[in-house]
Each structure stands twice: as C-alpha cells, then as structure tokens.
Chain A
C-alpha cells in the first residue's frame, strides 16, 4: 500500500505540494485529476525521487518502506514505476539493450535470475505484440525519433516488462489518439490484480472510461480538495475545475 501523509515539497524554493494525504491500497487504481500547475507531475517526481524536488514535510511509505529515504533506483527495485509524461530520449542506446538492462536490474533485486538476450527477446516480443508495437522499435534508440504515441506505448511496454507493484502514470493519455488510448488502457488493465496498484494522473475523464478507477482525487494548488468514486471525474467533466478551485 502507498501511504502519503501530509506531504509538502518545493521546487526551486517554491512550494508546490502543500500537505497531501493519500492512501492507495494494493490492488486499487486511483486517479488524480487537477488543473495545470496543481502539482500533479511534482507529486509523481517526488514519489519517484527526482533531484531538485525537495520534500519539506510529511512522509510517503510504500508497503511500510520509507520511500523518501531511498534512491530512485531503490524505489524502482521496490516496485515503483513511473510512466513519464515526456519520455526521455537516449541517443545511441538501443531500446532492447535498455529494456533488458532495466529488467535484469529489477530481477536481480527480486532475487530472480537475469534473462539472456534470447530469453528477453521472447518475453519482449510477446509484450510488444499485445501493445501493437512493431518489432523494429527494439532496435531503435530509446525513444529517439518515436512519435508521441510510440513513446507512450514504449512506457507501457516497460511497465508490462518490469511488472511493478505500483505504477504512476503521468498523463499517459496526452497526445494519444483514441485507438492508441485503448491500447495503452488495455496494457494497464492487463496488470490489474491483487499485487498491482496505480496512480493515474490525468486532465481528462476520457482515459478513465477505459481505466476505471476505484477512487478519484482532485488536486488543486498542491492539496487534495476532493475525493470520491469514479463519479467525481464525471462531475469535473461536466462542471470543469472552476467549482473545485473555488473550494480550494
């Protein structure tokens, strides 16, 4: 279970998160919605441990482990996965090599044997087929020259390969057409189960038609101002953020 308690954080000295409290039990998918600049991406970076995001108060634990005390790679090893809003390009680094290295470092941490190139290819091909990804994407540089949709699919592919316990999807729906959106949503839904929970960050209700959340939280000015079931997203879609912003 992810347990965030009164978490505050600054970026460049500016307060972005102002006391967030949130619990995501194992097996549940929660959505975080909110207007631009409300701190959604900051929350995901703070949880994943990016440099430059300074925690000024509160705590975040994952299955009892103090997340904030761990290095980014330690959090990944503990089962936390962040699907980036803007996946990063790594020129010259082959996608297959990158994915296999990542998978093997996670497997090593879990005490599982590492996969050799052939074993990896077999697994990767199966996952890629499910995401309708052409196989040549394994040969290309990581995210280099990928279209917006390909990048997002590559993120979901990584999630499918790494089998995290907690996935944070940071606006994974942005820049996707409706077909790609369905494929990505299917990829996430395929992970659903007792040992998988997710925090789905999005602007729009649209994604939540495909990934139906157990809970929806509305983030405004670094605070959660409203929480509820999937109906909250529908209300927001109808009324916009103006109503909740006033509440904040």
Chain B
C-alpha cells in the first residue's frame, strides 16, 4: 500500500494534471507494411510462426470482415476510419518473448517504471515476491507483442497456464484450437472479425480442474508505436471447479491522431468454475479539445457453460476518446451467475457507449448489473444493455441498476436498457437514477478543507463505491485516484 501511494504521488508530481501516461518510448520497432489485405494477415501469421489451421482461421475472418460494415448504431460520433492507413503489426525489434528480465530492452523496463501499477513493481516482472503481499503474475503486451510474463514457473506447478497467446498457440494448440472463437466467433461483429484476422498477441490462461489460482493474474496493455492499432486477443478457460481473478490495465502515449484498439476477450467457465475479470482502462482520451485519443472498440464475452459457473466483469473506464464495449455473459449452465459492475467516465469530448448483455439460457440463472456513468465537460455517456431471458431459463433473475452523474451543463447521460423476457417464471428488475454533483455537497467538503478537486473526487468515488469495492485492493486504490485525475478541471 505504501508503495502504491508513493508511486501515485510521484506520478502526480511529475505530471501537471493532464494524462499521466502520455510519454512514448523510443524503441526500435519492426512494422508490417501499412494497410490491410490478405498479405498483412499472412505476414502476421508468419511472424508468429503459426500453424496452418490458424492462418486459415484468420483468413476466413478476414474474408468475412471484408463483407461487413462498420457498426454505427452506437451513440458515438466520429469521422470514418481509414483501415488502410494504419499499421497492423508493430513489435519491439527485440526477439519475441524474452524469457528473463535481462533479455528485455532496458528502455522497455523504463517504460514500465513510468507506467506504475501494476507494472510499477519491477519485482513482479522479475518474479520476486514482495514480502507480506499477494503476488501478482503479470503478462505485459507492448504494441503487438507480449514482452514478459512473470511467475510462470510457480503457476506451472499448479498446472496453470498463463502465457502470451502466441506462445499458447505453439505450446498448447489443442486448447487454443478448441476454445478460440468459441465464445466470440470470427464473424460476430465487424471489430471482432477484424481482430480475428489480425490479432497479434494477448494473454492465454488455463486453470485446470479444481485449482484455485493462488495469485491475481494481470495483463498490461500498452500502445506505443504511432499509427498502430492494437488488436489483442485474450482467452481464459476455467475448467471444472476452478477459480481465477484476472486484471487488465491499459495506457497509451499522447498522440494527436486517433488510434484504434479492437480487442477480443473470451472467457469460458465450466461447471462450478468462477472467473473474475477486472479492467482499469486508461487509454489516452484525447486532449481538452477532443483531438487524438484511442478508439476503444472491444468485444468481451463470457460463456458460463457449466452448471453453477460464475463470471464477474468489473470495469473502470476512464480513458479512450470513444469506448464501445459491452462485456457480456451467456448464462448457459443451470444456476450460472453473471455480474457486471461498471464505472465509465466521459469528460471533455470523450464518448462512452458501454454496457452489457446478459443472455439467460439455463434454468435459475442469475445476473446483476450495476452501471455508474459519469459525464463531465462535453462528455457523452451511454449505458446500453440487454437482458434476454429465453423460455428455458425458468426461475431466472436479473437485477439492473444504472446511475448517471452529471457534472456541468454541457454533458449528456443516456440509458438504453433492453429487456426481453420470454419466461413466465423469470424476474427482472431495473432501477435508474440521474443526479448532479450538488453545489451544497461541494461547499460542504470545501468548508472542511478539501480542495474542489478533492471534493469532486470524493463525491464521485462515493457514487461509484458499489463498483469499486468489487475491484481487487491494489487496483481499487489506483482506480479511485484515476477517477479523480480524470475529472480534474471538470468543475468550476
């Protein structure tokens, strides 16, 4: 904890209230030629030394993608994206997948130093367990390549696989082949198809039967190179009776162009398995005038295939110029449980269109949705959610709560909940509120000595409490700080 606070203070001291992760790292990079065609797909596949089946899988995805149109149904407004004007593969020139810290470019390590949580702990990467603290295993993805995975050996003793997906393709092809695309098929949507064609790296996790993962698993994503999209693919499989908690963090340098991030995350939970997936998303949101920033167009979906399986999504979305993201649960197994806890901030010119889908198929499936949207500046925040209950889902339950907080008078909050209930014995509940930070609340805090920024931070954190308490401790501290930083200058 002390280290966390210290680092946050250091980061705050260095920066002047803007985006905290806006530095870029000067590393020799290797790029695929600009643009996207079949050759790009082949190039990526060849770089990763992939088996034939995966190349074909990618090519099928690319063929589907070409026939699809970019979805424009979200409330986000942005100019057309030129998919030919971007690099689809960028990798540090270092050889792929260094096995120890000594092999990692020191410049890269300095980047991690600057990044802070969760990679601020150099020892995490070095695989040294800090005394008296739960270890966190980290996989770091830098542009298109996973550069370091820590604690691998210790995890391997439990039979847990935690490695870059490119490595899993080589080492555990049977698992990858069985589950890749089984939750989000190649042609699921425009961005998922694009990702399937050109995904570069990401994390792979397999927790064997009956194993409780002894530590938090974490992936850190960083877009560094210019004009580069990041298309990572994450696949997590929790076998029967297993448990895992996984954290994801992301940052990018400040650039005045928009960069595309189109990730796919697939989770599979078998009988009695449980997966907790937490995200603190802090991609560069663009400047105060809405220039630059990441387009965060992400497909995340979990299949609760097994009986009594459980998947819990927690997300804190503070960054990105545009967020288009609906982490969902397909509740197939009887008595399976899906949860979605979300905080999304739209400040300045940010646009967030986010929510979840809970698809109830199995009997007595349960889902909980708690969404907290905060709009400030000219920000536009939309909750978009679907609760679908099939005729078979007897006794299914859903509870949805959507709260919006407005700061200032030029922002917007929108709630678009769809509920489709085809089962007589199912119950759904929906609650929604919209509120403002009241002047008397701010004055009360300031009268007690808090600055305006601290007061806003405190009130916003209070508003988000139900979601923040779902985050693992170390992340919760960072998230609280992030919320405050993201809203600096939004009042007064």
- Known contacts: A51-B439, A101-B454, A105-B454. The answer to whether A90 contacts B462 by CB under 8 A is yes
Q: Complex Cα distance A109/B443, Å?
A: 19
Closest B residue to A161 using CB positions: B448
Contact call B464/A76, Cβ cutoff below 8 A: no
List residues of chain A with CB within 8 A of the CB of B463. 91-92
Contact of A158 among B446, B448, B452, B459 (CB under 8 A): B448
Q: Complex Cα distance A78/B449, Å?
A: 9
List residues of chain A with CB within 8 A of the CB of B449. 73, 76-77, 102, 105-106, 109, 162
List residues of chain A with CB within 8 A of the CB of B438. 88
Any chain A CB within 8 A of the CB of B458?
yes
Mark out the residues of chain A between 88 and 114 whose CB falls within 8 Å of any chain B CB in the assembled complex: 88-93, 97-98, 101-102, 105-106, 109
Closest A residue to B468 using CB positions: A92
Mark out the residues of chain B between 438 and 492 whose CB falls within 8 Å of any chain A CB in the assembled complex: 438-441, 443-452, 454, 458-459, 461-466
Any chain B CB within 8 A of the CB of A241?
no
Contact call A82/B447, Cβ cutoff below 8 A: yes
Closest B residue to A168 using CB positions: B447
Contact of B451 among A73, A92, A98, A141 (CB under 8 A): A73
Minimum CB–CB distance from B483 to chain A (whole Å) comes to 12
List residues of chain A with CB within 8 A of the CB of B452. 71, 73
Q: Complex Cα distance A141/B449, Å?
A: 19
Q: Complex Cα distance A190/B44, Å?
A: 75
Closest B residue to A117 using CB positions: B1
Q: Complex Cα distance A90/B456, Å?
A: 11
Closest B residue to A51 using CB positions: B439
- Known contacts: A72-B447, A92-B464, A92-B466. The answer to whether A98 contacts B458 by CB under 8 A is yes
Contact call B458/A101, Cβ cutoff below 8 A: yes
Contact call A162/B448, Cβ cutoff below 8 A: yes
Q: Complex Cα distance A73/B452, Å?
A: 8
List residues of chain A with CB within 8 A of the CB of B454. 101, 105
Contact call B450/A92, Cβ cutoff below 8 A: no
Any chain B CB within 8 A of the CB of A50?
yes
Any chain B CB within 8 A of the CB of A35?
no
Closest B residue to A84 using CB positions: B444
Closest B residue to A81 using CB positions: B447
Mark out the residues of chain A between 22 and 55 whose CB falls within 8 Å of any chain B CB in the assembled complex: 48-52
Contact call B447/A76, Cβ cutoff below 8 A: yes
Q: Complex Cα distance A97/B451, Å?
A: 15
Contact of B461 among A71, A92, A162 (CB under 8 A): A92
Any chain B CB within 8 A of the CB of A87?
yes
Contact call B440/A102, Cβ cutoff below 8 A: no
List residues of chain B with CB within 8 A of the CB of A82. 447
- Known contacts: A50-B443, A51-B443. The answer to whether A90 contacts B448 by CB under 8 A is no
- Known contacts: A91-B463, A101-B458. The answer to whether A73 contacts B441 by CB under 8 A is no
Contact call A92/B462, Cβ cutoff below 8 A: yes
Give per-residue flags for B426-439: 1 if the beta carbon is below 8 A from chain A beta carbons, else 0.
00000000000011
Contact of A90 among B439, B444, B464 (CB under 8 A): B444
Minimum CB–CB distance from A119 to chain B (whole Å) comes to 15
Q: Complex Cα distance A52/B443, Å?
A: 11
User: Counting chain B CB atoms within 10 Å of each CB, which of A48, A77, A105 scores highest?
Assistant: A105
Q: Complex Cα distance A91/B465, Å?
A: 9
List residues of chain B with CB within 8 A of the CB of A77. 449
Minimum CB–CB distance from B2 to chain A (whole Å) comes to 10
Minimum CB–CB distance from A160 to chain B (whole Å) comes to 13
Minimum CB–CB distance from A75 to chain B (whole Å) comes to 8
Contact of A88 among B440, B451, B464, B466 (CB under 8 A): B440
Contact of A101 among B447, B450, B464 (CB under 8 A): B450
Minimum CB–CB distance from A142 to chain B (whole Å) comes to 8
Minimum CB–CB distance from B438 to chain A (whole Å) comes to 8
Q: Complex Cα distance A1/B461, Å?
A: 38
Contact call B461/A88, Cβ cutoff below 8 A: no
Q: Complex Cα distance A93/B448, Å?
A: 14
Q: Complex Cα distance A106/B448, Å?
A: 8
List residues of chain B with CB within 8 A of the CB of A71. 446, 452
List residues of chain A with CB within 8 A of the CB of B439. 51-52
User: Counting chain B CB atoms within 10 Å of each CB, which of A73, A75, A82 scores highest?
Assistant: A73
Closest B residue to A93 using CB positions: B462
Contact of B448 among A49, A76, A92, A97 (CB under 8 A): A76
Closest B residue to A107 using CB positions: B449
Q: Complex Cα distance A106/B449, Å?
A: 6
Minimum CB–CB distance from B471 to chain A (whole Å) comes to 15
List residues of chain B with CB within 8 A of the CB of A48. 443, 447
Minimum CB–CB distance from B178 to chain A (whole Å) comes to 43
Q: Complex Cα distance A185/B452, Å?
A: 31
Q: Complex Cα distance A88/B445, Å?
A: 9
Q: Complex Cα distance A162/B445, Å?
A: 13
Q: Complex Cα distance A236/B450, Å?
A: 39
Minimum CB–CB distance from B463 to chain A (whole Å) comes to 6
Closest B residue to A104 using CB positions: B449
List residues of chain B with CB within 8 A of the CB of A98. 445, 448, 458
Contact call B462/A102, Cβ cutoff below 8 A: no
Contact of A93 among B443, B451, B461, B466 (CB under 8 A): B461
- Known contacts: A88-B440, A88-B441. The answer to whether A141 contacts B462 by CB under 8 A is yes
Q: Complex Cα distance A100/B267, Å?
A: 41
User: Counting chain A CB atoms within 10 Å of each CB, which of B441, B448, B449 scores highest?
Assistant: B449
- Known contacts: A92-B462, A101-B454, A105-B454. The answer to whether A87 contacts B448 by CB under 8 A is no
Contact call A72/B459, Cβ cutoff below 8 A: no
Closest B residue to A87 using CB positions: B444
List residues of chain B with CB within 8 A of the CB of A93. 458-459, 461-462, 465
List residues of chain B with CB within 8 A of the CB of A84. 444, 447
Closest B residue to A144 using CB positions: B462
Minimum CB–CB distance from B114 to chain A (whole Å) comes to 26
Nearest first, the 5 A-B pairs at minimum CB distance are A92-B462, A93-B462, A102-B448, A92-B465, A72-B446
A-B contacts besides A71-B452, A92-B464, 5 pairs, CB < 8 Å: A49-B447, A76-B448, A84-B444, A93-B462, A101-B458
Some 17 contacts from A to B, beta carbons below 8 A apart, are A49-B447, A50-B443, A73-B447, A76-B448, A76-B449, A84-B447, A87-B444, A88-B438, A88-B440, A90-B445, A92-B461, A92-B464, A97-B458, A101-B454, A102-B445, A102-B448, A105-B451
